[in-house]
Structure 1
């Protein structure tokens, strides 16, 4: 059985047309403060689709992949996953196929958001 590269796993349209439409309807709100998604170890803002009604389970999983990808590509370059190439490929496909996801506007953390992230990492057992 041939080995399938991580890029081949995500080569098709990253989000379904229905999920893409829902995600593209989200509006970026720069005044929001992040929350910490402890299971993924990353920051998430409320306007990034966490609570979007009607999003498929696959769409939710792929949004979570984008949060992880953003973490390892932009927010915390020292963090790694078991398959960084999968998340990098997912990010690149989403950037190419998805317009206007609010998370694309948060590639650089403010000093306040960086401090919050560091606090969450340091105190993860208390969260």
Structure 2
């Protein structure tokens, strides 16, 4: 199971927000041996990080936190969307050919939110 950490307000609104969530993620390294990523928005006062346990998309295209194609949404997600292939097909059909970066269910989820 992946590990997710985050900070809202306070230190997240400073330049050390990213370093803080990375240190937090290091303490749960055992929850996700396949990678670690961080994202911060100091203006909004949000810092997120995730330790990744890769299940569906083992490539770096499945790394998180993941930013939507438009850049409007950011997600850290621990779960599995069992029908993500069908959702991908439906999105391609309904909104046209999509420029997918990888094969992760998380990317499909973000595309569905934006659709």
- Compute the TM-score of the two structures, normalised by the length of structure 1: 0.25
Larger fraction in strand: 2
